Structure 1
Amino acid sequence: MADIALVTGGTRGLGAAIARSLKARGWAVASVYHGNDGAAELFRRETGISVFRWDVADEEACREGVAAVEAELGPVSTLINNAGITRDATFHRMSWAQWREVLSTNLDSMFTMTRAVIEGMRARRFGRIINISSINGQKGQVGQVNYSAAKAGVIGFTKALAQENAARGITVNAICPGYVDTDMVAAVKEEVRAGVIAGIPVGRLGDPEEIAEAVAYLASPKAAFCTGSVLTINGGQYIANG
């Protein structure tokens, strides 16, 4: 069976590193993006990876997008739910729009994207679903009630879906990265960034390739007995209990 991987948020930052890593290991990869055509085209030219544009919070767009990917590459065997945004504000100043936008992109997309591939995986009795959560979904974060709630929801989604599909040869796991050296973190004010690094015991930000290596393992045949897990990769910043 061909290894076809679909990576959401897959043309920049962590998603781009994941897509590159899987391609280097022999997967045919489709990278999904939503907002930055220039970055997506540059990524496509540099990597040769197919790129597709749709909104992962839109159920119909996801269904149609997955159909387009499968028409070009074949049935999706590996789904990496990586797409995510922030709209930070302390809760007493947070708008409904800030709440809904983050929950739609970061949590509703777990349903819209996974629902579009799960029946095919069940029919083929094989699949790998890897959901990118966050350290802040485990410990919470000031100014990120929306983001923390969504990323905590990803963990619950992962554990329940893993139990439902284990007998069908489908593994479902989550990764909770800490602060990784991506555009999202680079956009933080320098003094805030320095404070973040000071709180990481290993003394640096994570490298996107370090997270991508973990994704590649969970996507591989060697991880067939690993499902419902939550892998924490944060340089010791937060020690999760279970």
Structure 2
Amino acid sequence: MNTRKWVLVTGGSRGIGKALVIHLAKTYDVIFTWKNHASQAAFVESSCAQAYGNVKGYRCDGGDEEQVAQLAELLVSVQGAPFGIIHNAGITCDALHIKQASADWHEIINTNLNALFHWNQHLLPGMLARGEGSLILMSSVSAVKGNIGQVAYSATKAAMTGMTRSLALEVARFGIRVNSLLPGVIETEMSSALSTEEYKKIRSVIPVRRLGKPDEIAQVADFLLSDASSYITGQSIIVDGGLSA
């Protein structure tokens, strides 16, 4: 009989999400969502199946409440309430604020913020009833350090700080903890597309003189899910190599 707890990772097919799924699969059953990267999602599944098993990806747009409701109902009916939720899915759509397309603005808000509400509405009640669990909101150092062209993105990530604090107070008495992670510049598909000069420029402003690794974020997330962080809730933890110091 499988007794492992399960964790949901939204946006788990690439980048930090991929690292989260692969790292956490050592300890938990992991369900992850993806939206536009079927081949990458299949690669994550197969990689974990060979090493650990108990990993499954589902196509789901977190900004679509009906899609979330349908998948959440399926998951709970099969596996019960999750032990953890990592709200990782997000987009940037960088543009100067006065030139930001209205459709992009609303898409960023919907994907980065409304999706959290949708998932929590459908999965959090079961977690409260069970009386244990951990939520992690994947914010960004952009929440505390401004970036040109990221007004919309930064707004959603800063909103996660307030959401973390308030939700933590609401659910603490039920044994649920809520924290947020604020990664700095991490080596992902986006950073690999930078030119040599762009890469050097970014690296030069990071005190530790390197970009972060996705697994370094996954390790902190693992800590926040575990009993080792049982007295930590309502906190926003920055992991940025000193960029925001």
Q: Which amino acid aligns with 2:39?
A: G
Where does structure 1 lack aligned partners over 5 or more consecutive residues?
none
Superposed, 1:135-150 pairs within 5 Å as: 135-150=141-156
1:12 equivalent in alignment to 2:14: yes
Quote the residue 1:232 is aligned against: 238
Which SS does the other structure have where 1:174 is aligned?
Answer: strand
| Residue 226 of structure 1: how far off its partner (Å) | 0.5
| Residue 189 of structure 1: how far off its partner (Å) | 4.4
Q: Aligned residues, how many?
A: 238
Q: Of residues 178, 184, 187 in structure 2, which corresponds to 1:181?
A: 187
| Residue 36 of structure 1: how far off its partner (Å) | 0.9
Tell me, yes or no, if the aligned pair for 2:184 and 2:240 is still in contact at 8 Å.
Answer: yes
Tell me, yes or no, if the aligned pair for 2:84 and 2:133 is still in contact at 8 Å.
Answer: yes
Quote the residue 2:48 is aligned against: 47
Tell me, yes or no, if the aligned pair for 1:28 and 1:73 is still in contact at 8 Å.
Answer: no
TM-score by length of 1: 0.94
Superposed, 1:87-98 pairs within 5 Å as: 87-98=93-104
Superposed, 1:28-177 pairs within 5 Å as: 28-48=29-49, 49-177=55-183
CA distance, structure 1, for counterparts of residue 224 and residue 206 of structure 2? 25
CA distance, structure 2, for counterparts of residue 153 and residue 189 of structure 1? 32
Quote the residue 2:52 is aligned against: none
Identity within the alignment, %: 35
Which SS does the other structure have where 1:147 is aligned?
Answer: helix
CA distance, structure 2, for counterparts of residue 30 and residue 76 of structure 1? 9
CA distance, structure 1, for counterparts of residue 110 and residue 196 of structure 2? 29
CA distance, structure 1, for counterparts of residue 58 and residue 80 of structure 2? 14
| Residue 70 of structure 1: how far off its partner (Å) | 2.9
Q: Of residues 182, 188, 200 in structure 1, which corresponds to 2:206?
A: 200
CA distance, structure 2, for counterparts of residue 93 and residue 29 of structure 1? 39
CA distance, structure 1, for counterparts of residue 43 and residue 106 of structure 2? 30
Cα shift readout 1:50-109 (whole Å, capped 9, x = no counterpart): 111100111121121122223444421100000011101111111111111111111111
* Alpha-carbon spacing, 1:43–1:198, altered in 2? closer, same or farther (3 Å): same
Q: Which amino acid aligns with 2:119?
A: M
CA distance, structure 2, for counterparts of residue 2 and residue 188 of structure 1? 40
Q: Of residues 16, 21, 27 in structure 1, which corresponds to 2:23?
A: 21
Where does structure 2 lack aligned partners over 5 or more consecutive residues?
50-54
| Residue 190 of structure 1: how far off its partner (Å) | 4.1
Which SS does the other structure have where 2:180 is aligned?
Answer: strand
Cα shift readout 1:155-190 (whole Å, capped 9, x = no counterpart): 111111000000000000000000000113223444
Tell me, yes or no, if the aligned pair for 2:22 and 2:44 is still in contact at 8 Å.
Answer: no
| Residue 21 of structure 1: how far off its partner (Å) | 1.2
| Residue 136 of structure 1: how far off its partner (Å) | 0.4
Which has the higher mean CA deviation after the structures are superposed, 40-49 or 170-179?
A: 40-49
Cα shift readout 1:168-215 (whole Å, capped 9, x = no counterpart): 000000000000001132234443332211110000000001000000
